[in-house]
A and B are shown apart, each in its own frame.
Chain A
Amino acid sequence: MTKKNPLTKALSQYSFILVFIAIFIVYAFTSNGLTWNGVMNIFRHSAVIGIIGIGMGMVCLTGEIDLSVGSMLALISGFAVVIFNLTGSILVTLLFCLAFGALCGCINGVLVGYVKMPAFIVTLATMLIYRSFAQYFCQHIPKDLCGGGSSVYRMVNSLSSYQTFYNFGNGKIATIPIVGLVLILVVAVFTYLTTSTKFGKKVYAIGSNEKGAAMNGINVDLMKTVVFVITGALAGAGAFLWIAMNASSDPATTGKSNEMYAIASAVLGGISMSGGRGKCLGILFGAMSYTVIDKIIVALKMDSLINDAIKGIILLVVILIQLAGPRLKEKFGH
């Protein structure tokens, strides 16, 4: 077997950057001149889906799937609004988001890891449950807790910390959106975790060969549970950013289809759905690619209903190129 050219090796490993650049170039041409703020907005709009995508990516690396992240976002963000309205404390709200997210993820994790139910079924069920809870409690708790709205959780804007919280979600540091910085921070932490720690290696090992991992003394049941907990906590972090940005949460629409976008971002970023392969950095670019597509559609003044079709087609095309490329090379190479 010949040694691969390092450049082609790097290109095949980081093809998600090429995809992003290609989409970005289209955006540059369709929008009326790129602005710094416009570009920075990509970060802002990728923040929530990017963070959820990282969680999804972690689950996918172990070879499992989590369909409940979108519903978790709705449930956690809704309850977080209530907590904020009750306490007026941003810190308590943040802690609640992370802890409640971890709890929601833990339910998934225990059922998958220890009870050994298929992740697809477990998280399909919790997807239904979590969203239903979000909608039900919105109607059945005292109105003043959810900001007086009828079907929406709304933060009470007379609270003293309201403005600080809102500024966190919508402000900028040195022209960069704060939520974008949070996203980059999360990606950095998880890139470190997956590439440079023993924990990360275990995650990959489980996805690559579960039985082999167990034979190496890895507690597979526990690891799977932990990964689902992390995914839940990240959904919690996403929910925290969501309410900071929007000051409200609509249980019917918040996070709708987000599980699908998260999976698509992860796959576009090169994460293998059967586990064991892929990079966290890829998910960032996958999520940003989809944000840019949204922006292209706005720039072209197209009906936003075509949005999902374009996203779906791009996903198919990218995977097609990834699969067909090596086969064509095999056939016509030498």
Chain B
Amino acid sequence: MLLEMKNIDKAFNGVPVLKKVQLEVERGEVHALLGENGAGKSTLMNVLTGVYPRDGGTVTFDGQQVEHATIKKTEEMGIAFVHQELNLFNDMTVWENIFLGKEIVSRLGRCNKKEMIRKASELFSQLDVKIDPTEKVENLKTSEKQLLEISKALFFKAKLLILDEPTTALNNDEIDHLFQIIRNLKKNGTSFIFISHKMPEIFRISDRYTVFRNGEYIASGSIREITPEEITKLLVGNADSFRDIYEERETGETILKLRDYSGPGFQHINLDIKRGQIVGLTGLQGAGSSELMQCIFGITRGTGGYIEMEGKKIPPSSTHKTMKAGIAMLASNRKENSVIPDMSLLENMYLAEHTLSAKQFPIHRKKEQEKYEKYRQMLNIKAQDSSDSILSLSGGNQQKVFLARWLNTNADVLLLDNPTQGIDVGAKAEIYKLILQLAKEGKTILINTLEIPEIQKIADYCAVFYEGRIVKILQHEEITEQTVMLYSTNAAEA
């Protein structure tokens, strides 16, 4: 047994977030730590790495009792946390990042650059990672940064690596590569705690699992003896929210028309989208679907062709004018693009509407409060007070506030870019239901996602992107994980 955490308790301001939970990780295994957002996974990992002190319980790592853990101490013991938000220094080179604070120096304190570069490339070749140690980190792809973080941890003899949703920004090839590396390391006795919301991956890479729910330990066992459906049941408590929810709807006239539309990252897109339709856009990371959405919303500038909204051309590269035309966009990367951290829930919700109604200068607090209540009930936002900070909500509830933000602009067309990113299973199901409900009420919805089951659940049809072009339109019943992957990797052409 490499790691044994028993009866761990942790409370913040008197609110318990971990209640007598346990976690056991063997040597040389990949252990999936599962739970919805807010189940306590991150808190437990922060207790393990010494970010938070625990209130009760025992931790044994590598045969040693761990008392008064600090980040430095646990690092020295061999626990490495590869964070979702990568902790790398973009302005420094790869080798500088690896050796930061642990530089190899000559007697006079001069950095031995050559030696460090040599060791770094040695490490990379061992791991079969193709990164140039002298490259600047900002020039690396996200997947390379991820691998760099892992390599860095391994270089300093980490015995246990915590991977917090390592695949969110990776495409399928990159995920394969990462998993191959994990398998190789496993053979040498390195252990992993693998945190992910993606079920197929969990089953591909993990050996055992532990499930948390609401800060409590629910179950653990071998991954071979359980099915994804059973795990989902353990995660949400009941699997009711997960049944097939798609139903056919009446659709109206063409509302959004793209003709030979080109821009940064995509070319010659032709689409006719009818009122009330739900259209899925998918493809590998960087295939152009997300880029198309950003260009429609005026964040980047189109280079050719045009878009028509209800027969009128939309002026290019103005988000505000696009909004006026009746288009809204729930952007991906919530923290960067949506969250206004210093503002309250109500202010966050009303920000977009304010730019549309800027001519009516003063704010009508009472009216806004009523509208907020309406959306809070409609979207089932779990929040106490509209004046609370947006940061006090979980990811799923934040996302619902931002959905309310855009519904509040009365847009006819909603562009949803990766709307369920980093959201737990329960909230995801709620968002799917909402999307279907909105479409029924006549909203037109474009949803871009890399998660195929998502499109399968809600899309009327789906456009598969490959290298900036739409390679295939799949109707609802044709959408399966296999066919989508076939076209998005262009395997059909091969």
Contact = CB atoms under 8 A, between A and B. Distances in A.
Interface in B214-253: none
A216 B352 contact: yes
A95 interface: no
Contact of B355 (A209, A211, A218, A276): A218
B342 A217 contact: no
Interface in B1-32: 12-15
A208 B392 contact: no
A217 B340 contact: no
Given A201-B351, A204-B342, A205-B351, A217 B319 contact: yes
A334 to B, nearest CB: 8
Contact of B357 (A1, A198, A218): A198
Contact of B319 (A199, A209, A215): A215
Contacts of B343: 201, 204-205, 208, 276
B339 interface: yes
A202 interface: yes
Contacts of A277: 342
Contacts of B337: 211-212, 215
A219 interface: yes
A212 B402 CA distance: 11
A211 to B, nearest CB: 6
B347 interface: yes
Given A215-B319, A217-B319, A219-B320, A198 B363 contact: yes
B350 interface: yes
Interface string A48-75: 0000000000000000000000000000
B414 to A, nearest CB: 14
Given A198-B354, A201-B347, A209-B340, A215 B13 contact: no
Contact of A2 (B14, B322, B329, B340): B14
Q: Which of A198, A201, A205, A208 has the most CB of B within 10 A?
A: A198
A8 interface: no
Nearest to B392: A1
Contact of A197 (B12, B15, B363, B384): B363
Q: Could you say which interface size class chain A belongs to? A: 20 to 34
Contacts of A3: 384
Interface string A179-221: 0000000000000000011110110110111011111111100
Nearest to B409: A217
Interface in B317-331: 319-320, 322-323, 329, 331
B362 A196 contact: yes
Contacts of B199: none
A205 B338 CA distance: 11
Given A1-B12, A216-B352, A277-B342, A198 B319 contact: no
Contacts of A198: 354-355, 357-358, 360-363
A199 B343 CA distance: 14
B341 interface: yes
Interface in B290-326: 299, 319-320, 322-323
A197 B360 CA distance: 9
A216 B351 contact: yes
B92 interface: no
Q: Which of A1, A2, A217 has the most CB of B within 10 A?
A: A217
Interface string B446-468: 00000000000000000000000
Interface in A218-258: 218-219
B336 A212 contact: yes
A212 B339 contact: yes
Contacts of B405: 216
Q: Which of A199, A205, A207, A334 has the most CB of B within 10 A?
A: A205
A143 to B, nearest CB: 47
A1 B355 CA distance: 33
Contacts of A219: 320
A215 B299 CA distance: 8
Contacts of B341: 208-209, 276
A197 B361 CA distance: 6
B356 interface: yes
A199 B357 CA distance: 11
A215 B331 contact: yes
A298 to B, nearest CB: 39
A199 B336 CA distance: 22
Interface string B418-431: 00000000000000
A207 B361 CA distance: 20
B362 A197 contact: yes
A276 B390 CA distance: 14
A2 to B, nearest CB: 5
Nearest to B328: A217
B219 to A, nearest CB: 28
A34 to B, nearest CB: 38
A148 to B, nearest CB: 47
A212 B357 contact: no
A217 B361 contact: no
Contact of A201 (B12, B339, B354): B354
Given A198-B363, A201-B350, A205-B343, A212 B355 contact: no
B320 A217 contact: yes
B356 A217 contact: yes
A154 to B, nearest CB: 41
Given A1-B15, A212-B336, A202 B355 contact: yes
Given A197-B361, A214-B319, A215-B319, A202 B354 contact: yes
Contacts of B365: 196
Contacts of A272: 342
Nearest to A277: B342
Contacts of B363: 196-198, 201
A326 to B, nearest CB: 13
Contacts of A204: 340, 342-343, 347
A212 B358 contact: no
Interface string B354-382: 11111011110100000000000000000
Contacts of A205: 340, 343, 347, 351
Interface of A: 1-3, 196-199, 201-202, 204-205, 207-209, 211-219, 272, 276-277, 334
Given A196-B365, A276-B342, A277-B342, 11 more contacts: A1-B12, A2-B15, A198-B360, A198-B362, A205-B347, A208-B341, A208-B342, A213-B340, A215-B337, A215-B338, A217-B322
Ranked 4 nearest A-B pairs via Cβ:
A276-B342, A198-B354, A208-B342, A217-B355
Interface of B: 12-15, 299, 319-320, 322-323, 329, 331, 336-343, 347, 350-352, 354-358, 360-363, 365, 384, 392, 405
29 contacts: A1-B392, A3-B384, A196-B363, A197-B362, A198-B355, A198-B357, A198-B358, A198-B363, A201-B350, A205-B347, A208-B340, A208-B342, A208-B343, A209-B339, A209-B341, A212-B336, A212-B339, A215-B299, A215-B331, A215-B338, A216-B352, A216-B405, A217-B319, A218-B320, A219-B320, A272-B342, A276-B341, A276-B342, A276-B343
